[in-house]
Structure 1
Amino acid sequence: MSEQPTTLKRSLGSFRLWGIAVGLVISGEYFGWSYGWSAAGTLGFLIVAVLIAAMYCAFIFSFTELTTAIPHAGGPFAYAFRAFGPTGGFIAGFATLVEFVFAPPAIAMAIGAYLNVQFPSLDPKWVACGAYLVFMALNILGVGIAATFELFVTLLAIFELLVFMGVVAPGFQWSNFASHGWAGSDTFSSVALSGMFAAIPFAIWFFLAIEGASMAAEEAKNPRHTIPRALGGGIITLTVLAVGVMVFAGGVGDWRALSNINDPLPQAMKLQVGGSSGWLHMLVWLGLFGLVASFHGIIMGYSRQIFSLARAGYLPASLARVNRRTQTPVLAILAGGVIGIAAIFSDSLITINGMPLTASIVTMSVFGAIVMYITSMAALFRLRRTEPELERPFKAPGFPVVPAFALAVSVLCLVAMVYYNFELAVIFAVMMLAGYVWFRMTATARARAALDPQLTVM
């Protein structure tokens, strides 16, 4: 196989890029969020989810300004580098890497859990490992094939979420949803407020990784037009689906039976139609498409982040090589997979803060995301001041209020997450510190890296 460091192939239009944006996230509607119910209750978590949805809308419409002005595979890494220099690029790039490398093993384990519902004899871990092998191979075949597949499974996943809401709607009762809705109590209290702050990571999981579509910017046709359409349409689609799924699932029965599990939708449907219904089996099979869409899309995202960091000299240069025929970053795809598979087989061995590893991985991924959101919004303000002449095909609406809101809520989320997940926060900080040591030791590699005009102030 002949490989060379090169650029990526431009082949994505608005529709396929929208499919990537929604597909990256849509597994968040299928699992992960229900852990927030155990912390905050249904009513408390609903308030948190609406606040986070507002933050994401503000963030995405602000982030799009950066993506169209600097269409780079590194996404947040490139924006922070341009605004704050190499150290800023490191902080944003490494945080994004944590977000995108830690999210896939959680999704892979959920894929295993869903198939285990249908085939109890299957070991979820080996299913998860198999998912890595299949979808790394699909990503290696080429971005056009990968993006078309992503769009297909995303459309099926959306259809399945609509079917789920339609099937359970006749059994929906607001009294079920509201019962014990404040962290296990029927009345709001300081305990409920504390639970709402603790539930923040699981509300973020509803939308985590939508910004990954920006990492396909170097592969987008006419990015100044396709990216705003894809990201704007994506966040609207996901907000509607997230609220609908959460409300209907919580109102069909005792929601407490659905918290702290990896397959809340099949279990919610089981409360409505029973365990032998054809609807349930259809949900399990089609529900896999939502998980597959995110899993496949995030593999695409982490590989582009590894590729861009390696190309800039932040990671070993070999990870920036792409296949001459398919123009995909093969070694970057494989490197993230090795980490993910190791995490899968550590699931039963590690418990952090009393949480199962899946919940801990979700939280770690969110730590990376929040740090990246903060640096991205700070980069937006910085570049507005230092590079007023930079061409901006799309400008953040409501500047400076809208991006300031996204920045303020992101900082609040980070503070709350550190307070309620201190052990994980320490682990995240140690990882960042280790990455920074590597960053300081590899200045020579960065000096040898090819000059990237998009990382240079014009």
Structure 2
Amino acid sequence: MNHRPAGTVTHPELKQTLGTWQLWGIAVGLVISGEYFGWSYGWASAGTLGFVATAIFVAAMYAAFIFSFTELTTSIPDAGGPFAYARQAFGPVGGYIAGAATLVEFVFAPPAIALAIGAYLHVQFPGLEPKTAAVGAYLVFMALNIVGVQIAATFELCVTVLAILELLVFMGVVSPGFAWSNFTKGGWSGASHFSLGSFSGMFAAIPFAIWFFLAIEGVAMAAEEAKNPRRSIPIAYVCGILTLVLLAMGVMVFAGAAGDWTKLSNINDPLPQAMKFIVGEHSGWLHMLVWLGLFGLVASFHGIILGYSRQIFALARAGYLPAWLAQVHPRFRTPHRAILAGGVVGIAAIFSDNLIQFGGQTLTANIVTLSVFGAIVMYLISMLALFKLRRTASDMPRPYRAPCFPFFPGFALAAALLCLGTMIYFNALMAGVFAVFLALGYLYFLATRRQRENAPAGTPADALLDR
């Protein structure tokens, strides 16, 4: 048992209420909007077949990453997730890099999803401005997250199950029109046959393949609120990644085989548009998909709000952000100020067309790319932290050990490096934006050393490991 001296100021702590199924709901719910939109942007550069190859490679990377990342999550169940792992492995600077990258990933993913929610509602209510609906979504789900993590996680589980059922319904409804020839026509970057030039499109599509699985690692940020993180987190992660791989491949193939897939790229609502090929514009199935399809978007939107708020909370608690962001609501025991702060940034991003809409990409595509940059950097430093802690903290309790070590984390590390290199090459402008964010954050990091030194003592993970 860890015993702190009397009078020692300790960290604000979160309430431990989450069970295994709720964590699975968070794992799948965080990501499942990626099956509803975003991925079809990859078709524009890679074609359907080229994008399948890219998606399989990325799925393999995520599987290896999750099997390895789970070791860190169960060994150090801290709300900071990757930030906590990197800080323990590499010190304050490592913690800053991981924390800043994770913050970019989780703060900029929600506005992309909110815009998709607006696009779905606009199909049903043409008079409703998508950005207005996106802001409304922020207000509703920030409030729900503030009310309590148990309520939020139960809601997340329910909408995730409904979202999965809806994806299965979508595949069933379009299956009568399934034609493999539709999917393969121009499937290699618009060409009928594979060529060396197809590689360029496949590499350019990497951010949108990552969008299929982006943010599953957010379960790590709920670890501090899990009842039994040693047992529940590995089950949630493994079941979650298997669920998502099957859904991603199924949705992509059935949508592309329903008709002219070129009409589905570069739009925010590919599934309703794919269904129109089969049932027409006025079918009740289409209206059902629009309404129930919102469950998938809402599940991810709601779950990522939970994720970004815990990351902001943990960074503030450790002195990397202003301490007032680490305040916990006296009644609901949730990081309400962190929830609101991330929402302000997300809403600003929704209205940042002139700043983020450049390089020939849509606003949504650029926000997705920026979020993916944050994710990839975080994956890299997390795998490096795993290797470092295996060497320097060999006696640290490890309730779960990464299988096939060092091959799984080594593959995840190498794949993430390849993804980062190709993303920088094909998205130089957004890479520059990401670099500016990191540089500005580092200046703040350098200017606030005393703030970190005065942060409360103790590590929440210590007490959690004793439970």
Q: Which residue number in structure 2 is paired with residue 108 of structure 1?
A: 114
Q: 1:381 aligns with which of 362, 387, 392?
A: 387
- Identify if the C-alpha distance between structure 1 residues 380 and 400 changes in structure 2 by more than 3 Å, giving closer, same or farther: same
Contact 1:352 1:424 in 2 (8 A): no
Confirm or deny that 1:355 pairs with 2:361.
yes
| One-letter amino acid of the counterpart of residue 231, structure 2 | H
Confirm or deny that 1:238 pairs with 2:236.
no
Q: Which residue number in structure 1 is paired with residue 151 of structure 2?
A: 145
Confirm or deny that 1:326 pairs with 2:332.
yes
Q: 1:84 aligns with which of 86, 90, 114?
A: 90
Q: Which residue number in structure 2 is paired with residue 157 of structure 1?
A: 163
Q: Which residue number in structure 2 is paired with residue 283 of structure 1?
A: 289
Structure 2 CA distance for aligned equivalents of residues 126 and 171 of structure 1: 35
- CA drift of 1:190 comes to 3.0
Q: How does 1:37-116 map to 2 (within 5 A)?
A: 37-116=43-122
Structure 1 CA distance for aligned equivalents of residues 458 and 425 of structure 2: 39
Contact 1:347 1:358 in 2 (8 A): no
SS at match of 1:85: helix
Question: So what's the TM-score if we normalise by structure 2?
Answer: 0.96
SS at match of 1:11: coil
- Identify if the C-alpha distance between structure 1 residues 369 and 5 changes in structure 2 by more than 3 Å, giving closer, same or farther: same
Structure 2 CA distance for aligned equivalents of residues 214 and 154 of structure 1: 18
- Identify if the C-alpha distance between structure 1 residues 399 and 344 changes in structure 2 by more than 3 Å, giving closer, same or farther: same
Q: Which residue number in structure 2 is paired with residue 313 of structure 1?
A: 319
Confirm or deny that 1:297 pairs with 2:335.
no
- CA drift of 1:268 comes to 0.2
Q: 1:128 aligns with which of 134, 139, 151?
A: 134
Structure 1 CA distance for aligned equivalents of residues 161 and 461 of structure 2: 35
Q: Which residue number in structure 1 is paired with residue 181 of structure 2?
A: 175
Q: Which residue number in structure 1 is paired with residue 425 of structure 2?
A: 419
Contact 2:376 2:419 in 1 (8 A): yes
Structure 1 CA distance for aligned equivalents of residues 171 and 400 of structure 2: 35
CA deviation string 1:215-271 (max 9, x = no partner): 000000010001001111100000000000000000010100000000000000011
| One-letter amino acid of the counterpart of residue 218, structure 1 | E
- CA drift of 1:111 comes to 0.1
Confirm or deny that 1:268 pairs with 2:274.
yes
CA deviation string 1:54-98 (max 9, x = no partner): 100000010000000000000000000010000000000000000
Question: So what's the TM-score if we normalise by structure 1?
Answer: 0.98
Q: Which residue number in structure 2 is paired with residue 394 of structure 1?
A: 400
SS at match of 1:327: coil
| One-letter amino acid of the counterpart of residue 414, structure 2 | A
Q: 1:206 aligns with which of 208, 212, 228?
A: 212
Contact 1:34 1:202 in 2 (8 A): yes
| One-letter amino acid of the counterpart of residue 200, structure 1 | I
Contact 1:5 1:321 in 2 (8 A): no
Structure 1 CA distance for aligned equivalents of residues 321 and 458 of structure 2: 16
Structure 2 CA distance for aligned equivalents of residues 209 and 88 of structure 1: 20
Q: 1:410 aligns with which of 407, 416, 427?
A: 416
Structure 2 CA distance for aligned equivalents of residues 298 and 316 of structure 1: 21
| One-letter amino acid of the counterpart of residue 421, structure 2 | V
Q: Which residue number in structure 2 is paired with residue 370 of structure 1?
A: 376
| One-letter amino acid of the counterpart of residue 252, structure 2 | M
Structure 1 CA distance for aligned equivalents of residues 435 and 288 of structure 2: 42
Contact 1:101 1:339 in 2 (8 A): yes
Unmatched 5+ residue regions in structure 1? Answer: none
CA deviation string 1:21-62 (max 9, x = no partner): 000000000000000000100000000000100100000010
Confirm or deny that 1:257 pairs with 2:257.
no
CA deviation string 1:282-331 (max 9, x = no partner): 00000000000000000000000000000000000000001111000011
Contact 1:167 1:269 in 2 (8 A): yes
- CA drift of 1:351 comes to 2.0
Q: 1:225 aligns with which of 218, 224, 231?
A: 231
Contact 1:224 1:394 in 2 (8 A): yes
- CA drift of 1:191 comes to 2.7
Q: Which residue number in structure 2 is paired with residue 194 of structure 1?
A: 200
- CA drift of 1:170 comes to 1.2
Contact 1:24 1:293 in 2 (8 A): yes
User: Runs ≥4 in structure 1, deviation > 6 angstroms?
Assistant: none
RMSD of the TM alignment (CA)?
Answer: 1.3
Q: Which residue number in structure 2 is paired with residue 19 of structure 1?
A: 25
Structure 1 CA distance for aligned equivalents of residues 436 and 100 of structure 2: 12
When the two structures are aligned, how many residues end up with a matched partner? Answer: 454
Structure 1 CA distance for aligned equivalents of residues 459 and 142 of structure 2: 30
- Identify if the C-alpha distance between structure 1 residues 134 and 405 changes in structure 2 by more than 3 Å, giving closer, same or farther: same
SS at match of 2:328: strand
- Which piece of structure 1 moves more, 427-436 or 341-350? 341-350
